[in-house]
Amino acid sequence: MMSWLDVLLEPMGFAFMQRALLTAAATSIVCAIFSCFLVLKGWSLMGDAISHAVLPGVVLAYLAGIPLAIGAFGSGLFCAVATGFIKEHCRVKEDSVMGIVFSGMFAAGLVLFSRVNTEQHLSHILFGNVLGVTDSEMLQTLIIAAVVTLAILLRFKDLVLFCFDPVQAKVIGLPVRFYHYALLCMLAMTIVAALQAVGVVLVVAMLITPGITAFLLCKTLPKMVTIAVTVSLLAAVSGTFISFYIDAATGPTIVLIQALFFLLALTANLLQKSIKPRQSAPIA
């Protein structure tokens, strides 16, 4: 009779599960770190915009026979630059501009996809297929995740100041415009890495949920990053295992577990707020 440990380790006997766990773990870590900056910078909608805007680039890259990551990165970067250009040259607010740009590019991608006779490929890009990643796709994800994570850690203090107070950052001589576009480039790269795990539709959840969850539980950025990475990594690993046992889609399972962690953090935050006034009330 198999023990619970044998049952738990059974999936690790398959090569596709080993690749899936590595890919999901790498994706979860870089998305969690980046989500903290997106939350603090107020760029949650930007993450949503770029994640949807990569679709036409993916299709064009597929038709041209070049790596999909190149098309996705180029399309996402074009969306970010176009948003900034339109915002600077008209009176429309940034959130409205992002809505117009990303919805237009996403629609263009869907139209292109409808002309490509490969529905399986469409499903893979939209919803992810982490259990089906190849060795080359896994290596691509690991490299992107490592480069973005290392870049953030090397310039952590400068990025924190840029996110909290860009005016002060400019006064002390930091290249604010450079950091602005560097963050956008890294955001596009992070989205490219996450496409293999959860796809276009759900990638925004991995870029927002860990940061919001950690934001509810702490007040300092180092702790926020630590909690976000922990929550995201736990969700990625447990979601991959659970999806294997219940025969469900891995990406949605990971995102669902992240949502459960957020609900737990929200509940803890509300309970803490309800208890504090009672503790501070004078004793009769």
Q: Which domains does the chain have, with CATH numbers?
A: 4-271 (1.10.3470.10)
Binning pLDDT at 50, 70 and 90, where does residue 283 land? Answer: very low
HSE-up (13 A, CA, CB side) for residue 44: 11
Under DSSP, the state recorded for 282 is P
Average pLDDT, the chain: 81
Percent of all residues in the chain with a pLDDT value above 90, rounded to a whole number: 14
* All residues at 6 or more sequence positions from 232 whose CB lies less than 8 Å from its CB, including other chains: 28, 29, 31, 32, 35, 206, 209, 210, 258
pTM more than 0.85: no
The Cα 26–Cα 48 span in angstroms is: 20
Provide the sign of the torsion angle of the four alpha carbons 102, 103, 105, 106, taken in this order: positive
The Cα 18–Cα 277 span in angstroms is: 49
- The arithmetic mean of pLDDT across residues 192-218, rounded, is 83
Binning pLDDT at 50, 70 and 90, where does residue 261 land? Answer: very high
Q: What share of the chain is helix, strand, coil (3-state, %, to 5)?
A: 85, 0, 15
Binning pLDDT at 50, 70 and 90, where does residue 118 land? Answer: low
Residue scoring higher pLDDT (276 or 77):
77
Binning pLDDT at 50, 70 and 90, where does residue 11 land? Answer: confident
Binning pLDDT at 50, 70 and 90, where does residue 284 land? Answer: very low
Summarize pLDDT for 204-216 with one digit per residue, the tens.
888 889 999 999 9
pLDDT at 96: 79
Binning pLDDT at 50, 70 and 90, where does residue 249 land? Answer: confident
